[in-house]
Structure 1
Amino acid sequence: MNSTIADGIHYFGLAGFPMAVRRVCTDSEHAPSHPHDLTEVEHSHDFCELVIVTHGSAMHMLEGNEFPVTAGDVFLLQGRQRHYFYDRQNLDLINIMYDPEKIALPENELRRMPGYCAMFMLEPTFRRQHRFASRLHLKRVPLAHVEQLAEAMERECDDEMPGREVALRAKLLELMVYLSRAYTSTDTTEAHALLRVGNVIGALENDFSKDWKLDELLQIAHMSRSNLMRVFRKATGQTPIEYLVRLRIQRAMEMLRNTDLTITEIAMEVGFNDSNYFTRQFRRALGESPRSFRQGKA
């Protein structure tokens, strides 16, 4: 089967705000629900898509793996993941499409929530291994609340009132926070494993300047050293300590741009006890010194 690219331009417009809400409803003929409806066509996106299953069931083919979906399932499809649905039985979906970079989501703040780390960062990576068992599945009342939030976003998209970009971004963040909190109540073994790693990421994000020891992170995760390293690296591409160093560098970049603190003061503020070591790590990450970075951003 040939795979199609679902280009964001068809959903966001040429110069539109990179967020859209599309409904998919299954009728007896499985007719398209909207222009560029690719529900039953293998495709991938150049954006993220948050899928909310509001009714019915289907099989979901994702990267060559089959997963059953049913009403209450909520999951994230990251860009460039090939997928389609088949065997639709009265399936209704709400697809919230967005480009996280272009709408400038506050990722640093979102990653302070273990549920966000687990659902939006880890679950897509471990979906195949867990056979979709780590997905978020909402019961009727929370699903109804999520539908209300999505409907409010849909109205903002349709009305095109002044300020809709701000309103859409705010509503997406509200939805993400609600789903992240809901994920912490998920009762599957697979979800609990992701939440343990999410707790580690959240701890690092919330207290990045602390002199963290690996043993402390192992206690937070309730995992063995080898297991934490394996899962963490698979999810983030880094070890916990490498992740922490990169996080500190990101914070240092903000301070170099926005404060008059000296480089030594910034190094200490973000958790480096040695300004020379800070400079080496900064150069390793960005290819230039903190001083050069500050001068270039002036």
Structure 2
Amino acid sequence: MADQVILKKDDFFATAVQAVAVADRYPQNVFAEHSHDFCELVLVWRGNGLHVLNDRPWRITCGDLFYIRAEDRHSYQAVNDLVLHNIIYCPERLRLNVDWAELLQPPRGSEARWRLGSQGMAQVRQLINQLEHESVKPDALSQCLAESLFLQLCITLRRHRYQPADDAATEQGETLDLLIAALGKSLETDFDLARFCERHQAPERPLRQLFRQQTGMTISQYLRQLRICQAQYLLRHTEMLISDIASRCGFEDSNYFSVVFTRETGVTPRVWRQQFGVSLNKAS
């Protein structure tokens, strides 16, 4: 097994006291699994890709937010015009007397992926632009301002972030936010776009066009990718029958599930499970 790639502070921070830096990814290319000796926030602006975090695959697109700890392992695969920002920081270098752990460590039991609505994204983008401008300056005043901007960013993220399954948090979101949240809750059941559009008084054709423009996928492609990611996770981390996993991921026919899974990943569900050393009597 190859040694784990560890990204080092010295390669990303200009000085030994710099606490925060901005790394834009326009676009983010395929990146092999790695960890860091610093932490980072990942915010996705456009396109899509497969983000594998601590062995769990996430199909990511605009509005997705991740809090990455130094000890976490992650990679980017199957990217398609994926545009994101990495806000990298060293917790031990932060000087402002605030509860950084409270702001930067999501509640225990929450999923690794969070989302931001359009309003939150607009506010965050403005702060990141300012932070990017100040963080590269070496003088003490600029570094102090950069940390202050980072604090504002963390508070803004805390105010606007929501878990994809949280209905209350998306009630006031724009239509695209609501659609992505609804798709995330439709892994086991059919999704009726016409009914969604009727409920939210949204014209269907422009919504389809907007979705493809922002994510690089059609609505059906995105939902299928979400289901495949969930299937990959269940195959690797549970003892469920493959037929039961198919059902849990919205496929009534396990044979059709196998066809789709193989087309998307290049291997059958059984081979996917076996290549991670999972060999279970119940895995059939």
The TM-score range, normalised by the shorter chain, is 0.5 to 0.7
Report how far residue 14 of structure 1 moved: 4.6
Q: Which amino acid aligns with 1:122?
A: P
Match of residue 214 from structure 1? none
Deviations 1:234-277 (A, max 9, x none): xxxxxxxxxxxxxxxxxxxxxxxxxxxxxxxxxxxxxxxxxxxx
Aligned: 1:81 with 2:72: yes
Deviations 1:148-207 (A, max 9, x none): 111111001234455111101100100111111113x65624999xxxxxxxxxxxxxxx
Match of residue 165 from structure 2? 188
Aligned: 1:19 with 2:10: no
Match of residue 10 from structure 2? 9
Q: Of 32, 42, 47, which residue of structure 2 is paired with 1:51?
A: 42
- Looking at structure 2, the residues matched to 18 and 110 of structure 1 have their Cα atoms a distance apart, in angstroms, of 15
Q: Of 120, 123, 144, which residue of structure 2 is paired with 1:145?
A: 123
- Looking at structure 1, the residues matched to 127 and 19 of structure 2 have their Cα atoms a distance apart, in angstroms, of 18
- Looking at structure 2, the residues matched to 6 and 45 of structure 1 have their Cα atoms a distance apart, in angstroms, of 5
**Would you say the 8 A contact 2:49–2:76 is kept in 1?**
yes
**Would you say the 8 A contact 2:137–2:143 is kept in 1?**
no
Structure 1 residues 162 and 104, CA gap change in structure 2 (3 angstroms): closer
Q: Equivalent residue of 2:12, what SS?
A: helix
TM-score by length of 2: 0.53
Match of residue 81 from structure 2? 90
Q: Which runs of 4+ in 1 moved over 6 A?
A: none
TM-score by length of 1: 0.50
**Would you say the 8 A contact 2:14–2:136 is kept in 1?**
no
Aligned: 1:157 with 2:135: yes
Identity of aligned residues (%): 28
Structure 1 residues 75 and 109, CA gap change in structure 2 (3 angstroms): closer
Q: Equivalent residue of 1:41, what SS?
A: strand
Aligned: 1:40 with 2:40: no
Structure 1 residues 79 and 146, CA gap change in structure 2 (3 angstroms): same
* Structure 2 unaligned regions, length at least 5: 170-284
Please tell me the root mean square deviation across aligned C-alpha atoms, in Å.
2.7
Normalized per residue, the structure richer in helix is 1
Match of residue 260 from structure 2? none
**Would you say the 8 A contact 1:8–1:18 is kept in 2?**
no
Q: Of 177, 191, 208, which residue of structure 1 is paired with 2:155?
A: 177
- Looking at structure 2, the residues matched to 62 and 94 of structure 1 have their Cα atoms a distance apart, in angstroms, of 16
